[in-house]
Amino acid sequence: MLVSDCRCFLKTEYFYLWYVFIDTMQQLSSILMFYRPLVLWSFLINIILSFFKVEIITILITKLFLIGFLWYITNETNGKQKLLFCKNLGISTLKLFSLLYLIDLLLSIPFLIILREFV
Query: What's the per-residue H, E or C state across 31-79?
Result: HHHHHHHHHHHHHHHHHHHHHCCCCHHHHHHHHHHHHHHHHHHHHHCHH
Q: Is residue 81 part of a domain?
A: yes
Instruction: Report d(CA 21, CA 14) in Å as an integer.
Output: 11
| Domain tally, the chain | 1
Please give the biggest Cα pair distance in the chain.
72
Question: pTM for the full model?
Answer: 0.74
Is 49 among the domain residues?
Answer: yes
Structural domain includes residue 64: yes
Any idea what DSSP says for residue 92?
-
Does residue 46 fall inside a structural domain? yes
- Per residue of the chain (119 residues), what is the pLDDT tens digit? 444 544 555 566 667 777 777 777 877 887 888 778 888 888 899 889 888 988 989 999 999 999 999 888 888 887 777 777 777 777 788 888 888 899 999 999 999 899 888 87
Task: Let me know if residue 7 belongs to a domain.
Answer: no
Q: What range does the domain containing 112 cover?
A: 24-118
